[in-house]
């Protein structure tokens, strides 16, 4: 995925914004929601966000 690719269309949240939120300490979908509002409209992107978290969050 490219940093400019939109993950959440409703809130125009790009992959880069999700990456930055994770770099800033976000570890769960709730953290991403709080920081970016991604997923707060139709919810269709939540699964994609969970997948990104699975890949990028160091456990
Ligand atoms: S695409 Fe993210 S809330 Fe609709």
- What domains does the chain contain, in order, with CATH numbers? 6-56 (1.10.10.1100)
What pLDDT, on a 0 to 100 scale, did the predictor assign at position 17? Answer: 98
User: How far is ligand 1, taken at its centre, from the CA of residue 13, in Å?
Assistant: 9
Q: How far apart are CA 17 and CA 23, in angstroms?
A: 10
What pLDDT, on a 0 to 100 scale, did the predictor assign at position 18? Answer: 98
Regions of the chain where pLDDT drops below 70: 59
Pocket of ligand 1 from Cβ distances under 6 Å: 8-11, 38-45
Structure-token pair, residue 28? 């769960």
Q: Quote the distance between the C-alpha of residue 4 and its chain's center.
A: 13
What pLDDT, on a 0 to 100 scale, did the predictor assign at position 58? Answer: 78
Mutate to test the pocket of ligand 1, among 44, 49, 52 (most ligand atoms within 8 A of CB): 44
């Amino acid at each position: 995925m490219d940093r400019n690719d939109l993950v959440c269309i409703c809130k125009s949240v790009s992959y880069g914004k999700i990456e930055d939120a994770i770099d800033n300490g976000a570890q769960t979908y709730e953290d991403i929601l709080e920081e970016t509002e991604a997923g707060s409209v139709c919810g269709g992107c939540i699964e994609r966000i969970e997948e990104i978290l699975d890949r990028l969050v160091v456990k």
